[in-house]
Amino acid sequence: MLKNISTLCFFALLFWACEAPTEATNDGSETKEKTINTEETPAEYAIVIHGGAGTILRSDLTPEQDAAYREALNKALDIGEEILKNGGTSIDAVEQTIHFMEDSPLFNAGKGAVFNHEGHNEMDASLMMGNDRMAGAVGGVSNIKHPISAARAVMEKSPHVLLTGKGAEQFAADQNLEIVDPSYFYTQRRWDALQRALDREKEEGEAQVELDHNERKKGTVGCVALDKEGNIVAGTSTGGMTNKRWNRLGDSPIIGAGTFADNATCGVSCTGHGEFFIRWAVAYDVAARMAYKGIDINTAASEVINEELVKAGGEGGLIALDKMGNIAMPFNSEGMYRGYAKPGERVVAIYKD
């Protein structure tokens, strides 16, 4: 009899130990915490991109503009997916995909960068590896054609993580990266956006700092990729805010704020009001919630963007993928230029609906 009771107690304890951990809810009750399904089959590769978030409504874009953005997002995915499909590395896929987006005047990065208060373009970028957390970034550069490549060079060829301004430009030149005259970044619509901001500044007597050309879109580009070796890399590039002053830096060049990657959890690239993303360490917070709470990538990303950031008053979104190739693309604005691809699957979207 004693032996039977001992056996029953053993199995009861074993069943209790295997139950999912619980967390307290606001009303004091308990609910089971969601856990990552470690038995799912990983994707052979995966890539996800964004081109900025904000108040992007169907009524904001003409059919021609809508088609142009969708074509650009698809071309960007084509570049990265081709590299990954053929066994290339995630870092090459991220760099080359962002190159294309930096070359497009549609996005607020590289060629499409907005102007600061003095009428100059100041660009930021960062890149992070998920296998060893190596990272590189540049901020406030004005003559580097592809800031994302400068970020990679900082990571691979310097003992530092973040270089800014003239020092970053000199380093890029020393590494034989493509240097252009600052006039290369001039586009009429970005210049006109600055003039409108300056005019309102005179009328209203206070600074008019805008997040993008239409005053409602948060302009940044980003890419996260998972290669066949299981390595995750995340990268982000931006022109920052129209009419920004004093060499302002946003979250894009800040590791943990605008960009983060860890093979054990996920890779993240953010877009939105940078000051909030910095203070709430948004990119890292997604990975931390996965690691510490044991929740899946969509739950973690949604908690950060749709709960924590909303409570703080911040607007924007992010893209993320985990080691299994699961994709998250949450945003709390009306829209976000976004898309992803993995074997046999592709999505490109703009609006909330």
Catalytic residue positions, numbered: 220
- Separation of alpha carbons 307 and 325, rounded Å: 24
- The residue whose two tokens read 């650009």 is 72
> What is the number of residues in the chain?
353
31 burial type by CB count under 10 A (0-12 exposed, 13-18 middle, 19+ buried): exposed
Question: β-pairing, 259-261 with 266-272?
Answer: antiparallel
Report d(CA 112, CA 187) in Å as an integer: 7
* CA gap 163, 167 in Å, rounded: 7
Q: Which residues contact 318 (CB under 8 A, 6 or more apart)?
A: 50, 268, 269, 270, 271, 272, 282, 283, 286, 301, 304, 305, 328, 329, 330, 331
246 to 122, 177, 249: CA distances (angstroms):
11, 26, 9
Which value, to the nearest 10 degrees, does the dihedral of the CA atoms of residues 202, 123, 114, 337 take?
A: -130
Which among 274, 273, 330, 284 has a CA at the least distance from the CA of 307? Answer: 330
CA dist list (Å): 191 to 36, 141, 177, 242: 47, 18, 26, 9
